[in-house]
Structures are given as C-alpha cells and as structure tokens.
Amino acid sequence: MPEPLRVGVLASGRGSNFRALVEAAHAGRIPATMVVLISDRETAPALAIARNHGIEALFLDPQQYPSREAHEKAIIGALEERGVDLVCHAGYMRILTPAYVAHFRGRAFNIHPSLLPAFPGLHAQRQALAHGVRVAGATVHFVDEGVDSGPIVLQAAVPVLAGDTEESLAQRILVEEHRIYPEAVRLFAEGRLHIEGRIVQIRESR
Ligand code: GRF
C-alpha cells in the first residue's frame, strides 16, 4: 500500500468542505490524511472542526506579518514542514501571491460554487440568480494566478428552481461541493490527473 496523500487545507470560515474531506478520509473513501488546517481568521469554525477531529489547527494571523508575501511565506513554510503533497483551498478568502501559486502549481486545489468559467469571484450564487441561469453548480479546479480560473478537475450541476433564494441555491450547490471535493482529492491521490495546458486529463485507474 502506498503512503496516504498528505493534505493541508486552507479555510477562512465555516469549514463544511474541510469537514467533508475529513469525513471522507476517516471513512477510507480517499487514500489521504488531513495533516493540518490553516486559517487566516482566529474565529473560523474550520479551526474548531480540525481540533475536534484531532487535526492540527493553525491560525496564522495576517496582521502579524509585514506583508502579504511574508504571511504566505509562513503558510508555505508550515505546509512544507508538514510534508504536504496537496493543498486544498476551501473557502480561503485571500488573494494569493504569484510566488505562492508558483510554489504549489499542480498541487493546489480550490472549490468554487459555480460552473466556471461562469461567475468567478465573490457571491457566485447571487451572480447566478441575477443572471437568470437555469443550471448552476460547483467546480473543483487547480489554483493558478487568476481568480477561480485554473484548470478544471471536476464539476457538478444543480438546477435553479423557481423561488430559489441565494441561500437555497447555495445549499443545493453545497451538497455537490461535498461530493466532488473528496472525489477530486481521490483522483489526485491515485495519480490520475494530468494537466495539459488548461485541460485536465483524468486517466483510467491502473
Ligand atoms: C464554499 O461555497 C466554497 O465553494 C467557497 O466558499 C464556501 C466555503 O464554505 N469557496 P465552507 O467553509 O467549506 O463551508
């Protein structure tokens, strides 16, 4: 048996995607160990989820560093010290520096609550409702220099229903997020993802 993939997660808030990853790993559905949860917000519920599951919870306060670069350098250092193979951004609300993106190219994922490239950035569900789309969804993608713009790994669609509010649509999308994020990590752990330009090939399992 190969060693399980070592995953670090960055989250600024609620942490429900982090929880989904933790539960999938604990249930043996993905050959991965969550080694650390890093947050830029001291009160992020994600930190408590980590502690409750016996996972190291690290608050790295951006205000304690002279620059964005220095804060990210500390994050990179913490992830490398722990031998992280894959970083999962799960509701991490900071713009990343090019140095960070370059460091983790091909080994950092993000999840976004829209069918990218539609509706990147903040309030994706609100944007989808305002645009009047009939289908919304979620995307797991590799992190690149842009905002929610990297090569797409997995997507899932949900219908937009009459009378949907931002909250009801977000909730329907979230169910799919919790399904496809662990699935994407599993594909990565199995070495089945190959990036060619902006296309991600998913190879058959050996
Ligand atoms: C999710 O909708 C995710 O797609 C977006 O931010 C939200 C984070 O939710 N990037 P949670 O913290 O994982 O519950």
Note the pLDDT of residue 95. Answer: 87
pLDDT at 178 over 90: yes
Asked if residue 32 lies in contact with residue 5, where contact means CB atoms within 8 angstroms, the answer is: yes
- With a 6 A CB cut-off, is 177 part of the ligand 1 pocket? yes
The pTM of the whole model exceeds 0.95 = yes
pLDDT band at 27 (very low <50, low <70, confident <90, very high): very high
pLDDT at 59: 98
Q: Spell out the alpha helix ranges (H) of 82-203.
A: 98-103, 124-131, 166-189
Q: What is the mean pLDDT of residues 124-131?
A: 98
CATH code for the domain in which residue 110 is found = 3.40.50.170
Average pLDDT over residues 42-52: 98
- Measured CA to CA, the distance from residue 85 to residue 183 in angstroms comes to 16
Mean pLDDT across the chain, nearest whole number?
A: 97
Quote the pLDDT of residue 179.
98
- Report d(CA 139, CA 156) in Å as an integer: 7
Q: Point out the catalytic residue in the list 112, 141, 178, 194.
A: 112
Residue 146 domain boundaries:
5-202
Q: Where residue 94 falls among pLDDT bands split at 50, 70, 90? A: very high
**How does residue 205 score in pLDDT terms, banded at 50, 70 and 90?**
confident
Active site residue 112: yes
Predicted pLDDT at 188: 98
Q: Are 157 and 136 in contact (CB under 8 A)?
A: yes
Ligand 1 atom nearest the C-alpha of 13 is 12
Q: Residue 61: name the closest of 49, 43, 46 by CA.
A: 43
Ligand 1 proximity of 90 Cβ (cutoff 6 Å): yes
Instruction: Verify whether ligand 1 is closer than 6 Å to residue 14 (CB atom).
Output: yes
pLDDT at 206: 65
Number of domains in the chain: 1
What are 55-59's contacts with CB under 8 Å, separation 24+? Answer: 55/22, 56/82
Find where tokens 């016996």 sit: 54
